[in-house]
Amino acid sequence: MRIFISGGTGFVGGHLCRELLSRGHQLRLLAHGRRGEEGSGIEYVNGDVTSADECAAGAKGCEAVINLVGIIREFPARGITFPRLHVEATRNMLAAAKANGISRYLQMSALGSRPAAVSGYHQSKYAAEELVVASGLDYTIFRPSLIFGPEDAFVNMLAGFIRSFSIVPVIGDGKYRLQPIAADDVARCFALALEKAETVGKAYTICGPDRLTYLDIVDAVARALGRFFVLKMKNPLVLMQFVTPLLEKFPFYPVTSDQITMLLEESICDGSWQETFAFKPVGFEEGISGYLRK
C-alpha cells in the first residue's frame, strides 16, 4: 500500500515509518524543511500541511492517508497555533484524501481530547476529531498518553536535569498520574489498524501498562541512568499557576498553563485497546532503559 503521511519526519513519524516499511508499505512523506534520504520505500514531497493544495498534490496516487501533525506548545508570532496545526491541518489532510478518492484515513489525537475539554490543546485535538468523524472516510483515531522513545522531549528533559543537576523540578505535589506508551507501540497500532477492518470508525485511547505518578516517573528515569538519588524540587501549584501565564510567552520558560492543566487532569486509560490490537506494550522503565543507558 502507498501511504501519504503528514508529520512523518517527526518523533513518532520515524517510528511509524520503520514499522510500515517492515510490513512492505511504500511511503510518501509531506516534508517542510527536515527530511531524510529517499529510497527504500520512502518518497518525499515538498509541502506544508497548512496548504490544502500541497496536501492534495502529495496524496495523489496513494491508498491511505495518515495525519500525525501535532504541537504541544503554541508560538502565535510564528504562526504556530493549535487551531492552525491541529484543526486546519486536519481539514486539509481530509480534503486531500477526498480529492484523490482515498477512503482510508488514520488520525493522531491525544488522550484527554473530549467535548468540553479544559485545555486549548485538547479542545483543538477534539475539534480535529470531529472533522474526521464527519468526513465520511473510513477513519481510525488514536488518542495516546505520553509517548516515550529515544528522541522524545519529556523523558530526555528529565534525564537532562538528573545528569546535570541531580535535581528535577516538580509542579505541585507530583502525584498526578500518567500512563506512558512507547513510540514503537503507537506505531504498531497505526500499522495494525491498516490491516484490521474492525478498526474503521473507531477511536482508541492507548496507553502503556504502567500507571505512574510524576514522582514515580522521575524515580524510574533516575534508575535508568544508574542514579539512586535525585532531589525533587516541588514548586507550589498556586505559585506556578500565577507565574506561568506571565512567562509562558517566552520560549525559555519550560511549561505553559495548558500543560499544567493537562498534568493535573492526568493521562491514564484502561488498556482495553489491547483487546483489538492483541499485543502487550512495553513497560516504561524497561523501555527507557534501552536508550537512556546508551
Domain boundaries, the chain: 2-149+180-206+269-281
Distances (CA, A) of 76 to 79, 88, 141: 5, 15, 27
pLDDT tops 80 at residue 34: no
Single out the residue of 235, 237, 216, 218 nearest to residue 166, CA to CA.
Answer: 218
Q: Are strands 212-213 and 177-178 parallel, antiparallel or unpaired?
A: antiparallel
Please check the confidence at residue 273 and state whether its pLDDT lies above 70. Answer: yes
Q: How confident is the model at residue 228 (pLDDT cuts 50, 70, 90)?
A: confident
**173 CB neighbour count, 10 Å cutoff:** 12
Per-chain mean pLDDT for the chain? 96
State residue 275 phi and psi, 5-degree precision.
-65, -35
The model's pLDDT over 159-187, given as tens digits with 9 standing for 90+, comes to: 999 999 999 999 999 999 999 999 999 99
Which residues face 144 on adjacent strands? 206
pLDDT at 289 (0 to 100): 96
Name, in order, each residue with C-beta under 8 angstroms of 16's C-beta and a sequence gap of 6 or more: 5, 8, 66, 68, 186, 187, 190, 191
Q: Which three cell numbers stand for residue 36?
A: 531524510
Confidence band for 126, pLDDT divided at 50, 70 and 90: very high
How far is Cα 8 from Cα 131, in angstroms, rounded to an integer? 21
Contact assessment for residue 289 and residue 227, using Cβ atoms and an 8 Å cutoff: no
Question: pTM for the whole thing?
Answer: 0.96
- Closest residue by Cα to residue 64 from 20, 128, 32: 20
Quick one: pLDDT band at residue 294, thresholds 50, 70, 90? confident
- Please identify, in words, the CATH class of the domain defined by 2-149+180-206+269-281: alpha beta
> For residue 136, what is its C-alpha cell?
465520511
- DSSP line for 170-231: EETTS--EE--EEHHHHHHHHHHHTT-GGGTTEEEEE--S--EEHHHHHHHHHHHTT-S--E
How much is the average pLDDT of 203-232? 97
Tell how far CA 293 is from the center of its chain: 24
C-alpha cell recorded at residue 150: 529515544
Cβ neighbour number for residue 154 with a 10 Å cutoff = 15
Handedness of CA 259, 282, 106, 23 (dihedral sign): positive
| Contact residues for 289 (Cβ-Cβ < 8 A; gap 6+) | 224
Give every CB contact of residue 82 below 8 A, 6+ residues apart in sequence. Answer: 71, 74, 120, 121, 123, 124, 125
Has residue 36 got a pLDDT over 70? no
Q: Where are the alpha helices (DSSP H) in 63-201?
A: 82, 89-99, 120-133, 154-165, 183-193
